[in-house]
């Protein structure tokens, strides 16, 4: 009993179609919510057919057992599940009457069955045809809201929506039904520009009292046998079962035994995959840490010849080498790296003008030996003092 109540509490926010998907995925206990929702309706409908309560309970259980099998086999109802439950109850009631004609049947149902289970051929079918053209959710809402007059909370649970959304969806469903009914080709005569006058008398009668006509026509046209007043009274006082039905207990036990054969393999595989994923993550973290350390230890400055300026413990403060170690480890400057390399170590392929200047004699050569230079603002370079004195003469 506790398990059934817990299963219903867990899944009562799901719609009938969503519960069917859960059942097909192996969550057998979710079907208890379907039983709780539609059990009073099935019992109330069968109560209009049989006088024996034991027969009513047995056939009601068979209704939900067949519905569970259809759901597992991926053939759930396409429209309202409530209508499917009532249709299945009617079919099983007729089958019971065929098997035992002298069983405890009600007078009305016996008369209807002996007459061949006829449908009312004189009743208008346009509204029912338009109803069948709607979406499954719209059919479900109109049946629960108009035919059975159920509260908004019950409709919200059957549709899997919020209670505050039921009113707007009901208005939308009614408007869609009206437009579909008007668009039926056999209902209206063609008349351009006079659509309202082109509607037939029966169409206008149905549209003016939409809820009343739905309540009067839909059950009879969809089910054949219908005792609306007795059905509503019995459904209001019938309580759903507090425990799993026998077929649901067997299904839950079978579903619980099936995975145990391979549970150890699945758990071992899950453990192995978890350890493997953890090892890969640890290896990736170690590689990232090594890369980070290598990038941190890498010299930040290099000399012009490509040698590092500081490495390891030899580096002094502020990234410089100090004292004799710097003088011993620093390579000799090359000709290309010295600012005065052109004058200190000219190459053989130097320009001719440089060679001429080196051979020039005069005061410039004397001042090159003296080493005294002054700045000449006219040429932007430093000139020897002797040349400045020679020009001033």
Q: State the DSSP string of 14-79.
A: S-HHHHHHHHHTT-GGGHHHHHHHHHHHHHHHHHTTBS-HHHHHHHHHHHHHHHHHHHHTT---SS
Question: What pTM was computed for the model?
Answer: 0.63
Asked if residues 310 and 320 have their Cβ atoms less than 8 Å apart, the reply is yes
353, part of any domain: no
Q: What is the CATH number of the domain that holds 164?
A: 1.10.10
23, part of any domain: yes
Residues 6+ apart with CB under 8 A from 247: 61, 64, 65, 68
Q: How far apart are CA 201 and CA 213, in angstroms?
A: 14
Residue 83, φ and ψ in degrees, nearest 5: -65, -40
338, part of any domain: no
Q: Which parts of the chain are beta strand (E)?
A: 373-376, 381-384
Answer yes or no: do 35 and 73 share one domain. Answer: yes
Q: Report the domain count for the chain.
A: 2
Residues for the chain: how many in total?
393
Answer yes or no: do 46 and 80 share one domain. Answer: yes
Asked if residues 103 and 46 have their Cβ atoms less than 8 Å apart, the reply is no
Answer yes or no: do 212 and 240 share one domain. Answer: no
148, part of any domain: yes
309, part of any domain: no
> pLDDT tens string for the chain (393 positions)?
445 555 555 667 798 999 999 999 988 989 999 999 999 999 999 999 999 999 999 999 999 999 999 999 988 888 899 999 999 999 999 999 999 887 789 999 999 999 988 887 667 788 999 999 999 999 999 999 999 999 999 899 889 899 999 999 999 999 999 999 999 875 444 444 444 545 778 788 888 999 999 999 999 999 999 999 999 999 999 999 988 899 888 888 877 665 544 444 454 555 555 555 566 655 655 565 555 455 545 454 555 555 555 544 444 444 444 444 444 454 555 544 444 444 444 444 444 444 444 444 444 444 444 444 444 555 555 555 555 555 555
Answer yes or no: do 126 and 204 share one domain. Answer: yes
Asked if residues 196 and 113 have their Cβ atoms less than 8 Å apart, the reply is no
Domain extent, residue 189, equals 120-224
Last residue of a domain, one of 206, 224, 242: 224
Answer yes or no: do 176 and 236 share one domain. Answer: no
Q: How far apart are CA 79 and CA 28, in angstroms?
A: 22
- What is the 8-class DSSP label of residue 125? -
């Amino acid at each position: 009993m506790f398990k059934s109540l817990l299963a219903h509490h867990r899944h009562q926010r799901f719609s009938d179609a969503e519960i069917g998907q859960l059942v097909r995925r192996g969550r057998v206990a979710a079907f208890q919510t379907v039983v709780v929702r539609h059990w009073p309706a099935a019992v109330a409908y069968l109560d209009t057919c049989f006088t024996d309560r034991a027969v009513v309970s047995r056939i009601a259980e068979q209704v939900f057992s067949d519905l569970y099998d259809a759901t597992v086999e991926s053939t759930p109802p396409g429209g309202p599940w409530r209508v499917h439950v009532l249709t299945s109850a009617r079919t099983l009631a007729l089958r019971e009457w065929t098997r035992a004609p002298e069983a405890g049947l009600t007078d009305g149902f016996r008369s209807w069955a002996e007459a061949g289970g006829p449908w009312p051929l004189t009743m208008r079918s346009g509204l029912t045809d338009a109803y069948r053209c709607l979406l499954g959710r719209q059919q479900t809402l109109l049946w629960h809201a108009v035919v059975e007059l159920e509260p908004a909370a019950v409709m919200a649970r059957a549709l899997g929506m919020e209670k505050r959304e039921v009113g707007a969806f009901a208005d939308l469903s009614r408007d869609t039904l009206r437009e579909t009914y008007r668009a039926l080709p056999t209902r209206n005569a063609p008349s351009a520009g006079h659509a309202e006058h082109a509607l037939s008398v029966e169409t206008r009668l149905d549209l003016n009292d939409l809820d009343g006509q739905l309540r009067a026509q839909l059950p009879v046209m969809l089910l054949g046998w219908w005792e609306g007043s007795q059905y509503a009274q019995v459904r209001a006082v019938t309580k759903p079962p507090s425990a799993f039905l026998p077929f649901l207990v067997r299904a839950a036990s079978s579903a619980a035994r099936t995975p145990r054969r391979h549970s150890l393999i699945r758990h071992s595989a899950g453990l192995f995959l978890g350890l493997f994923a953890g090892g890969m993550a640890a290896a990736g973290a170690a590689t990232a840490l090594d890369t980070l350390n290598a990038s941190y230890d890498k010299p930040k400055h290099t000399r012009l010849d490509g040698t590092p300026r500081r490495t390891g413990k030899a580096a002094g403060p502020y990234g410089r080498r100090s004292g004799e170690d710097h003088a011993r480890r620093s390579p000799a400057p090359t000709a290309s790296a010295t600012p005065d390399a052109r004058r200190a170590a000219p190459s053989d392929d130097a320009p001719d003008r440089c060679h001429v200047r080196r051979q020039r004699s005069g005061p410039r050569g004397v001042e090159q030996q003296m080493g005294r230079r002054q700045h000449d603002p006219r040429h932007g370079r430093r000139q020897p003092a002797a040349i400045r004195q020679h020009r001033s003469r």
